[in-house]
């Protein structure tokens, strides 16, 4: 199957991100708060302790859920993932994975399949084609393994994941294919989106009201006691740990790579250095017209294209420069600017008619007229390279650091095992001294703390917070190497006293009081304005601030009012001069009075009708798909085809176990 991709940094990051989007795009619809999974899974089973769920015959492991959740977290919080959100992300990730598997099971039940040819076509012409086939040229085989390894997957696993994604897309197309939109729906949607309003609004803010609230100690203590349950164990568990870090990079200088190592690695990986037959070509393309509505191609237009190609060929036979003619006349705009160059191509990368001629021409020669589905080509071969295996001398520079890294990693593992054994027999300090290493002993630390030598390390914290106090020293691997560690003290979660969190209690008390006052005063402002039939006068009496909006649509936001698609959307139903009820935007309250409304014209509707149709179609497709997925999940859970391990899921999604 397809083998692709190089390893250079920036491009690889883009591709990694893009591929994650491709693999997960079909599931976006279920990754919203209150998703289909919800709080109740409805089916218990005797699944293993490392299994979150089973869909059909496929098990979903704890590790898969953790990896999915962290990937989601990194995409949503590129500057750093708040650990407090991990339980939520674990829930969403479990929901996501279960639904993905369920859709594949249903697609297969309906007889849908994805062939190897369809997979290759997706990689070559889908969203990844600019990275995988730049200028139409396949990137190469060796880098494919390197790319797939980034996902901790084998090549067959990766290709199956891509096929599963295509299978889900086929199922979604089947489900949503019959969705239609009426003209009445289009007109209603256009009117909703295109109507603009301008209004006055009186504003009261919570921050203003907070300045009037001055609670006594007695009020705060009473508030603390009434809400004490919310503070239970709010001081998280902390632990002291001693650890010895074995950094692989620091051992790299001790590694010796011998000629025998190089030869042995080369012999074992020789297939990676095979270079297929390839030719470096240029071409000039004169396109033929596509078929018309009747499926036929205009023969006169085809003949005109042929004649133009023959005229160019005559110029070449007369000594014209191929690159200059390609730049001037070729209708392949991507290659024309490079003198018609397509770079190096391998067999299977172009259409058969083009490939046959390109690989049969001698170096430096130019073809006659070659007709393909694209049009008429004239091909020139710049270079030819026969299939061969790169010699060791040519690849030695890229093999050497790989072997050195492998040796350093093995050295670090051996050293770590030795240090662990010594630490268990003579203690951490003596084990470190014996191996000329350093012991780091921490004070009480939380899961999110950064540690000397490793920074923030979820892998290490997972190990530390699952170990027993004073258990024998253990070992775990990190990105930078290995670490031998021992937990020396555990401070369980604690409920803080009033004195410890007085400032937090005061802030929460004031916020609660301000919220209640804001609702009351906004209601009073609305009632008074309606009684007076005068928003301006009521604003002055109530000490509010009067503002005027711009002309806005439902898709916009207004300061202190919020999104016009929210509670403030009531203004779109009002008459000029009418006064609204209280509008709550969270941190402020407002009362609105409509000044002016502008509705879109029929002419505007006709101009944007196609765009509106696509928008409404997509909305209805999404609704249809959500309903289908909800029903599918419900039926599969009832029939036992989806089984949820409630105990394991609860461990993952309980806040104090977020990194277990």
Residues 204 and 173 in one domain: no
Greater pLDDT, 35 or 393: 393
For 193-202, 362-371, 611-620, which range has the lowest pLDDT when averaged over its residues?
611-620
Q: What is the pLDDT of residue 68?
A: 86
Count the Cβ atoms, other than its own, within 10 Å of residue 654: 12
Report residue 566 as tokens. Answer: 């929210």
Residues 42 and 66 in one domain: yes
pLDDT at 83 over 80: no
pLDDT at 312 over 50: yes
439 bridge partner residues: 244
Q: What is the pLDDT of residue 23?
A: 41
Residue 135 lies in a domain: yes
pLDDT at 653 over 90: no
pLDDT at 298 over 70: yes
Residue 635 lies in a domain: yes
For 122-136, 531-545, 551-565, 636-650, which range has the lowest pLDDT when averaged over its residues?
122-136
Distance (Å, whole) CA 535 – CA 39: 45
Q: Could you tell me if 203 and 588 are in contact, meaning their C-beta atoms sit under 8 angstroms apart?
A: yes
Residues 305 and 372 in one domain: yes
User: Residue 18: is it exposed, middle or buried by C-beta count within 10 angstroms (0-12/13-18/19+)?
Assistant: middle
Q: What is the pLDDT of residue 607?
A: 87
Question: pLDDT grade, residue 4 (50/70/90)?
Answer: very low
- Domain limit, last residue, from 491, 526, 553: 491
Residues 419 and 538 in one domain: no
Q: What is the pLDDT of residue 479?
A: 87
For residues 375-389, average pLDDT: 93
Q: Could you tell me if 522 and 589 are in contact, meaning their C-beta atoms sit under 8 angstroms apart?
A: yes
Distance (Å, whole) CA 214 – CA 220: 10
Question: pLDDT grade, residue 103 (50/70/90)?
Answer: very high
Q: What is the pLDDT of residue 134?
A: 66
Residue 140 lies in a domain: yes
Distance (Å, whole) CA 494 – CA 660: 19
pLDDT at 170 over 70: yes
Greater pLDDT, 17 or 616: 616
User: For position 413, which CATH number holds?
Assistant: 3.10.50
Q: What is the pLDDT of residue 39?
A: 31
Residue 392 lies in a domain: no
Render pLDDT for 503-560 as a digit per residue (tens, 0 to 9): 999 999 999 999 999 999 999 999 999 999 999 999 999 999 999 999 999 999 999 9
Residue 269 lies in a domain: no
pLDDT at 449 over 60: yes
Greater pLDDT, 128 or 45: 128
Residues 26 and 103 in one domain: yes
Question: What's the DSSP call for residue 270?
Answer: G
Q: What is the pLDDT of residue 320?
A: 94
pLDDT at 30 over 50: no
Question: pLDDT grade, residue 136 (50/70/90)?
Answer: low
Could you give the number of structural domains in the chain?
4
Residues 354 and 292 in one domain: yes
Render pLDDT for 246-278 as a digit per residue (tens, 0 to 9): 999 888 888 899 999 999 999 999 888 888 899
Distance (Å, whole) CA 358 – CA 347: 10
Residues 408 and 359 in one domain: no
Residue 171 lies in a domain: yes
Question: pLDDT grade, residue 87 (50/70/90)?
Answer: confident
Question: pLDDT grade, residue 657 (50/70/90)?
Answer: very low
User: For position 346, which CATH number holds?
Assistant: 3.10.50.40
Distance (Å, whole) CA 607 – CA 630: 37
> DSSP for 482-543?
EEEEEEEEEE--BPPPTTTTHHHHHHHHHHHHHHHHHHHHHHHHHHHHHHHT-HHHHHHHHT
Residue 191 lies in a domain: no
User: For position 93, which CATH number holds?
Assistant: 1.10.4030
Neighbour-count burial for 82-116, b at 16+ CB within 10 Å, e otherwise: ebebbbbbbbbbbbbbbbbbbbbbbbeeeebebee
For the chain, first and last CA: distance in Å?
38
Percent of the chain with pLDDT over 90: 60
Q: HEC states along 302-315?
A: HHHHHHHHHHHHHH
- Domain limit, last residue, from 386, 413, 431: 386
pLDDT at 605 over 90: no
- Domain limit, last residue, from 353, 386, 419: 386
For residues 95-114, average pLDDT: 92
Q: What is the pLDDT of residue 647?
A: 85
Residues 533 and 581 in one domain: yes
For residues 113-123, average pLDDT: 86
Question: pLDDT grade, residue 2 (50/70/90)?
Answer: very low
pLDDT at 156 over 90: no
Domain interval for residue 114: 9-179+620-657
Residues 342 and 290 in one domain: yes
Residues 580 and 638 in one domain: no
Distance (Å, whole) CA 569 – CA 501: 40
Task: Give me the residue label for tokens 């060796």.
Answer: 142
Q: What is the pLDDT of residue 17?
A: 41
Question: pLDDT grade, residue 137 (50/70/90)?
Answer: low
Q: What is the pLDDT of residue 293?
A: 67
Secondary structure class of 296 (helix, strand, coil)? coil
Residue 604 lies in a domain: no
Nearest alpha carbon to residue 279 among 358, 198, 169, 375: 358
Q: What is the mean pLDDT of the chain?
A: 86
Render pLDDT for 366-378 as a digit per residue (tens, 0 to 9): 999 999 988 999 9
Residues 292 and 362 in one domain: yes
Q: What is the pLDDT of residue 259?
A: 93
Residues 168 and 60 in one domain: yes
């Amino acid at each position: 199957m397809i083998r692709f991709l190089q390893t250079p940094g920036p491009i690889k990051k883009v591709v990694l991100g893009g591929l994650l989007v491709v693999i997960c795009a079909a599931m976006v619809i279920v990754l919203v708060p209150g998703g289909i999974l919800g709080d109740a899974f409805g089916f218990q089973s005797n699944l293993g302790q490392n299994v979150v769920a089973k869909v059909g015959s496929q098990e979903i492991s704890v590790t898969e859920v953790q990896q999915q959740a962290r990937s989601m977290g990194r995409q949503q919080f590129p500057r750093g993932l708040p650990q407090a959100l991990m339980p939520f992300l674990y829930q969403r990730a479990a929901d996501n994975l279960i639904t993905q598997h369920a859709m594949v099971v249903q697609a297969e039940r309906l007889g849908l399949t994805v062939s190897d040819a369809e997979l290759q076509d997706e990689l070559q012409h889908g969203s990844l084609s600019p990275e995988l086939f730049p200028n139409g040229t396949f990137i190469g085989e060796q880098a494919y393994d390197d790319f797939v390894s980034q996902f901790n997957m084998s090549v067959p696993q990766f290709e199956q994941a891509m096929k599963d994604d295509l299978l889900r897309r086929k199922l979604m197309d089947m489900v949503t294919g019959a969705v239609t939109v009426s003209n009445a729906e289009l007109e209603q949607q256009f009117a909703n989106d295109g109507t603009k309003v301008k209004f006055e609004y009186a504003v009261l803010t919570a921050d203003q009201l907070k300045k009037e609230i001055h609670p006594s100690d007695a009020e705060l203590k009473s508030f603390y006691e009434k809400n004490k349950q919310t503070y239970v164990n709010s001081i998280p568990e902390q632990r002291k740990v001693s650890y010895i870090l074995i950094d692989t990079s620091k051992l790299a200088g001790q590694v010796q790579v011998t000629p025998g190592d190089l030869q042995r690695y080369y012999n074992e990986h020789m297939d990676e250095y095979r270079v297929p037959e390839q030719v470096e070509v240029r071409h000039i393309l004169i396109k033929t017209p596509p078929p018309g509505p009747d499926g036929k191609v205009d023969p006169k237009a085809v003949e005109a294209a042929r004649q133009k190609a023959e005229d160019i060929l005559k110029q070449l036979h007369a000594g014209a420069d191929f690159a200059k003619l390609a730049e001037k006349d070729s209708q392949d705009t991507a290659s024309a600017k490079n003198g018609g160059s397509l770079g190096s191509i391998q067999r299977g990368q172009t259409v058969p008619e083009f490939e046959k001629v390109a690989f049969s021409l001698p170096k430096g020669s130019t073809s006659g007229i070659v007709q393909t589905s694209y049009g008429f080509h004239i091909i020139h071969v710049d270079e030819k390279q026969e299939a061969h295996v790169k010699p060791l001398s040519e690849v030695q520079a890229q093999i050497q650091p790989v072997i050195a890294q492998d040796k350093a990693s093995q050295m670090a593992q051996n050293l770590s095992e030795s240090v662990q054994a010594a630490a268990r027999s003579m203690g951490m300090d003596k084990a470190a001294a014996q191996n000329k290493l350093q012991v780091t002993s921490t004070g009480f630390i939380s899961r999110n703390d950064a540690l000397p030598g490793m920074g923030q390390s979820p892998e290490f914290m997972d190990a530390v917070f699952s170990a027993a106090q004073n258990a024998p020293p253990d070992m775990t691997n990190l990105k930078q190497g290995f670490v031998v560690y021992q937990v020396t003290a555990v401070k369980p979660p604690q409920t803080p006293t009033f004195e410890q969190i007085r400032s937090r209690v005061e802030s929460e008390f004031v916020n609660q009081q301000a919220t209640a006052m804001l609702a009351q005063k906004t209601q009073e402002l609305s009632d008074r304005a309606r009684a007076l039939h005068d928003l301006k006068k009521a604003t002055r009496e109530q000490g509010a601030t009067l503002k005027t909006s711009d002309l806005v649509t439902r898709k916009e936001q207004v300061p202190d009012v919020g999104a016009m698609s929210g509670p403030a959307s009531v203004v779109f139903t009002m008459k000029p001069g009418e006064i609204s009820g209280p509008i709550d935007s969270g941190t402020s309250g407002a009362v609105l009075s409509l000044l002016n409304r502008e509705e879109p014209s029929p002419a505007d509707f006709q101009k944007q009708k196609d765009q509106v149709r696509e928008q409404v179609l997509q909305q209805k497709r999404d609704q249809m798909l959500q309903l289908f997925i909800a029903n599918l999940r419900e039926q599969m859970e009832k029939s036992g085809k989806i089984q949820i391990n409630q105990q394991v899921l609860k461990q993952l999604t309980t806040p104090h176990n977020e990194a277990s």
